């Protein structure tokens, strides 16, 4: 179920005539861990309907997203669903070994870049083991007239309701600008959202305009290989025990996998296999997906796929 109550702090200006980018190279800055970091130039290729041979027409590269912790969303995406991954209640400073990864530990992605008019939502996939881990998301907008690192000049523009496991916020929009993302309880959770003003950001010689934002996009974590133990503490089996399962389920539910990246995270020196037992494995896959289904349908699908996961 989604939390459908609207938030008065949520910004309202939504552009219905976004820009489709055929080839853009741009340099941006985003927040990370409360500071501003320069991000290298990215080449973003957005859906060229004439190129039927391009399997990933958006140039969405999960490896780059994993390593740089940044995703620049194609401008035809109407909504991006930010996943709060399993173990997101653990501090990277004190319990780093318990995380799925030390990259995109609290949000997929840590740093999100969207065009004006693309909505966002947060989805809680932080599984309860013995104790539930609800999350409350806070967004603060940075004042453009002050220093990038001056947190005192950030204004709270959005506070979500408490998100229980597999619950999502409403879909909402933000005005152009730079926002920090954190959690009301787990204040070590850090991320950023940058909303670009289309008309002032892109090179007009390289763009065409399209009035349609018609896709939803998001991220997901999966075990790469079939895990040895797919049951939880109560003995219930979870079929989401391998990437093979999720490839089939994503396709069956109308979610297109845009890109995947396999990674290993084994930071628990005293654990069998050197991975935190709740995660069931040290071999994981970052999945970036898209779909033309509506928002409510996608949330329902993600709820099932998340509950299927062995990360419980």
- pLDDT band of 24, cuts 50, 70, 90: very low
Instruction: Name the residue with tokens 């933000």.
Output: 174
- Give me the mean pLDDT over the 189-197 stretch: 96
d(CA 46, CA 58): 4
pLDDT higher than threshold 70 for residue 249: yes
How many residues are listed for the chain in this entry?
312
- Give me the mean pLDDT over the 97-119 stretch: 96
pTM for the model stands at 0.79
At residue 199, the pLDDT reads 55
pLDDT, tens digit, 9 for 90 and up, residues 212-229: 788 999 999 999 999 988
pLDDT higher than threshold 90 for residue 119: yes
- pLDDT band of 14, cuts 50, 70, 90: very low
Q: Which two tokens stand for residue 225?
A: 């290989």
pLDDT higher than threshold 90 for residue 10: no
Q: Is the CB of residue 275 less than 8 Å from the CB of residue 265?
A: yes
Q: Which two tokens stand for residue 42?
A: 């990215």
pLDDT, tens digit, 9 for 90 and up, residues 71-93: 999 999 999 999 999 999 999 99
Domains belonging to the chain, first-starting first, are: 19-215 (2.60.40.420), 217-308 (3.30.70)
């Amino acid at each position: 179920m989604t939390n459908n109550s609207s938030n008065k702090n949520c910004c309202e200006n939504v552009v219905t005539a976004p820009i489709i980018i055929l080839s853009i190279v741009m340099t941006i800055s985003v927040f990370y861990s409360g500071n501003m970091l320069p991000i290298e130039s990215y080449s973003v290729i957005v859906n060229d309907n004439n190129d039927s041979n391009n399997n990933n027409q958006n140039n969405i590269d999960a490896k780059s997203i994993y390593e740089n912790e940044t995703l620049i969303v194609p401008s035809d995406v109407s909504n991006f669903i930010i996943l709060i991954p399993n173990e997101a209640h653990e501090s990277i400073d004190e319990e780093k070994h318990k995380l799925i990864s030390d990259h995109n530990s609290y949000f997929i992605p840590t740093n999100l870049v969207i065009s004006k008019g693309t909505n966002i939502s947060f989805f809680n996939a932080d599984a309860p083991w013995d104790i539930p881990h609800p999350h409350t998301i806070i967004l603060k907008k940075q004042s453009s007239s002050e220093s990038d690192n001056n947190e005192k000049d950030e204004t709270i523009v959005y506070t979500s309701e408490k998100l229980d496991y597999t619950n999502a916020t409403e879909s909402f929009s933000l005005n152009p600008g730079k926002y920090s993302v954190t959690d009301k309880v787990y204040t070590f959770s850090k991320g950023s959202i940058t909303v670009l003003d289309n008309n002032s950001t892109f090179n007009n010689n390289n763009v065409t305009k399209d009035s349609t934002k018609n896709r939803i996009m998001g991220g997901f974590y999966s075990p790469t290989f079939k895990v040895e133990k797919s049951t939880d503490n109560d003995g219930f089996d979870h079929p989401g025990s391998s990437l093979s399962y999720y490839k089939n389920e994503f396709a069956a539910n109308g979610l297109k996998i845009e890109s995947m990246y396999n990674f290993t995270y084994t930071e628990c020196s005293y654990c069998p296999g050197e991975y935190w037992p709740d995660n069931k494995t040290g071999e994981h896959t970052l999945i970036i997906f898209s779909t033309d289904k509506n928002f409510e349908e996608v949330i329902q699908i993600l709820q099932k796929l998340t509950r299927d996961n062995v990360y419980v």
